[in-house]
A and B are shown apart, each in its own frame.
Chain A
Amino acid sequence: KAGVTQTPRYLIKTRGQQVTLSCSPISGHRSVSWYQQTPGQGLQFLFEYFSETQRNKGNFPGRFSGRQFSNSRSEMNVSTLELGDSALYLCASSLWAYDLNTEAFFGQGTRLTVV
């Protein structure tokens, strides 16, 4: 079955602009999580969606937002981009949100560079 698809793979934006990243989870998966990965901070949790509802949110400013559609596809948006937003943004999908044993499958990520 197809894996998690993130688009685009690479993106270059200018400070102050906004950006929308897309994630298509594995067919049948209803939970989508977003993470930011940087060399300095490692992998940090942004938010988690399940059945179109945000279930959990990490410690990021309000410039970072997301949503999930009825087909489980998810988008995340970053407004007023800053240089420090340059990172690999990873999306992970899983069947359920609250099963401790649930496996999360990650996409290849979107590499965002802010100049």
Chain B
Amino acid sequence: TQLLEQSPQFLSIQEGENLTVYCNSSSVFSSLQWYRQEPGEGPVLLVTVVTGGEVKKLKRLTFQFGDARKDSSLHITAAQPGDTGLYLCAGRDNFNKFYFGSGTKLNVKP
């Protein structure tokens, strides 16, 4: 059982569409990070959120940390083929242990 559950697991959309990926847990995290991983590469950090209710924007990507710091979402506006990849959320708990979510595989078709 994953401590961090991501949904959906797979997402295939057309270029220009919007999408939201969710990361949920029953545990509280002191911080949460989102990564994107491309085939054959290691994950690359997109953002870190540390405050409950925090919203961060990175160009077309909007990240939100839940008020209770148990969940997060990643919203992509007007998706592009370059957004294709595996999106991973990762949380650090109060014991400083790091957990990764199950991942969402996104495919954006031109």
Report which A residues bind B (CB closer than 8 A).
Answer: 4, 33, 35, 42-45, 48, 55-56, 58, 90, 92, 97-98, 100-101, 103-109
- Tally A-B pairs: CB < 8 A: 53
* Other 4 A-B pairs with CB < 8 A, given A35-B100, A42-B102, A104-B33: A45-B100, A56-B97, A100-B31, A109-B42
Contact status A106-B40, CB under 8 Å = no
Which residues of the other chain, B, contact A105 by a CB distance below 8 angstroms? 45
Contact residue among A4, A56, A104, A109 (Cβ-Cβ distance under 8 Å from B96): A56
Q: Which residues of A contact B50 (CB under 8 A)?
A: 100-101
- How many Å lie between the Cα of A33 and that of B33 in the bound state? 15
Within 8 A of A (CB), among B86-100: 88, 90, 92, 96-100
Interface membership of chain B positions 24-49, coded 1 if the CB is closer than 8 angstroms to chain A and 0 otherwise: 00000011010000001111110010
Closest to A90 in B: B42
How far, in whole Å, are A55 and B96 apart by their CA atoms in the complex? Answer: 9
Contact B96 A45 (CB under 8 A): no
27 A–B pairs (Cβ distance < 8 Å), ordered by A: A33-B98, A42-B2, A42-B100, A42-B101, A43-B88, A43-B100, A44-B100, A45-B97, A45-B100, A48-B98, A55-B96, A56-B98, A90-B42, A90-B43, A97-B96, A100-B30, A100-B31, A100-B48, A100-B92, A103-B48, A104-B33, A106-B41, A106-B42, A107-B42, A108-B40, A108-B41, A109-B41
